[in-house]
Amino acid sequence: MIPDYAFYVNPEKIIGDSFSLDKDESKHAIQVLQKKVGDKICLLNGIGTGYHVVIDSIENNQVFGSIKETIPELGENRVSLGLAPALIKRDRFELILEKATELGVNDIYPLALDRCVKKTMNYDRSVKIVTAASKQCRRSRFPTLHEPLNMESFLEMRNGKILSGLMGTHKSLTQLNLVSERPITVIIGPEGDFTKKEIEIMKEKGVIFFHLGERRLRAETAVLNSLSILNELIN
């Protein structure tokens, strides 16, 4: 039987077949979820391994237990996925962070583009959202959230196959050849669209364009649509 709840475990707190949770995760397990000795839970180390474990003891409000099963790459895609979304209003951008995590993205590169209404984000708050979403959907490898970049800087540092949604493009995602062992990254622009300069930079760097239909979508809808399709195509 798969445990109901998942918690983050610091990799340094796995010793042989034993583990201990830190103060915050122990508090959540004991006080919020009312976990007790003998209960089975799931642990995620954030760097690619999941564990099914049993709580053996609770001492000084800290959880200790034993590992029953180790699961490499629990909840992960076969191919590494990246997302480069334009910065938008906070509540909608945070929805993107949460859903991108649930849909298997490994790296998130916020883009501060020319037509972005917002050019900054609360980094610490955003990391907490990504971590919470990772635990909720039981991903053993927590996405890496990068600091905001402009288009040129992003394309200089990101490798692999890079795709971008762009209205007026002839091919959809399902018509592209995405068979690849290399990372795939999708760029989603702001609702004001990319500037001509940004489009030219993408063309020069070999970005592959695709369309998501004839309707103009909100940025968060375009992200969900694109990632859902990519999950079907690469797994």
pLDDT in tens, 33-68: 999 999 999 999 999 999 999 999 999 999 999 999
- Enumerate the β-bridge partners of residue 187: 84, 164
Q: Could you say which DSSP state residue 142 is in?
A: P
The two structure tokens encoding residue 155: 């394309």
Q: How far is CA 93 from CA 176, 196, 202, in A?
A: 27, 24, 23
Residues 104, 92: Cα–Cα separation, whole Å: 19
pLDDT at 1: 63
Q: Collapsing DSSP states into helix, strand and coil, what is residue 157?
A: helix
pLDDT at 216: 87
Residues 34, 107: Cα–Cα separation, whole Å: 33
Nearest to 89 by CA among 63, 113, 116: 116
Domain 81-234 sits in which CATH superfamily?
SPOUT methyltransferase, trefoil knot domain (3.40.1280.10)
pLDDT at 209: 96
The two structure tokens encoding residue 58: 């609770």
Per domain, the residue ranges of the chain are 6-72, 81-234
Residues 179, 159: Cα–Cα separation, whole Å: 16
pLDDT at 178: 80
Residues of the chain with pLDDT under 50: none
pLDDT at 180: 67
Task: Write the class of the CATH domain 6-72.
Answer: mainly beta
The two structure tokens encoding residue 69: 């099963």
**Antiparallel, parallel or unpaired: β 49-59 and 62-72:** antiparallel
* pLDDT, tens digit, 9 for 90 and up, residues 172-204: 999 988 876 689 999 999 988 999 999 999 999
Residues 49, 3: Cα–Cα separation, whole Å: 15
Residue 15 CB coordination number (10 Å) = 9
The two structure tokens encoding residue 11: 């990799």
pLDDT at 93: 97
